[in-house]
Amino acid sequence: MRPDPPPSCAMTSFACYPSLADRSVLVTGGATGIGASMVEAFAAQGARVGFVDIDTVAGQTLAQRLAGMRNAPVFVQADVTDIAGLETAIDSLRMHCGPFAALLNNAANDVRHRLDDTTPEMWDAGVAVNLRHQFFAARHVARDMQGLGGGSIVNFGSISWMLKQGGMPAYTASKAAVQGLTRCLARDLGPFQIRVNTLVPGWVMTEKQQRLWVDTQALADIARGQCINRPLQPEHIARMALFLAADDSAMCTAQDFVVDGGWT
Question: Residues with Cβ < 8 Å from 106, sequence gap 6 or more?
Answer: 27, 28, 29, 30, 34, 35, 38, 156
For residues 149 and 147, give the distance between their C-alpha atoms in angstroms, rounded to a whole number.
Answer: 6
Q: Decide the pairing of beta strands 102-105 and 48-53.
A: unpaired
Q: Which residues are catalytic?
A: 171
Asked if 100 contacts 26 with a C-beta cutoff of 8 angstroms, the reply is yes
Say how many Å lie between the first and final Cα of the chain, rounded: 41
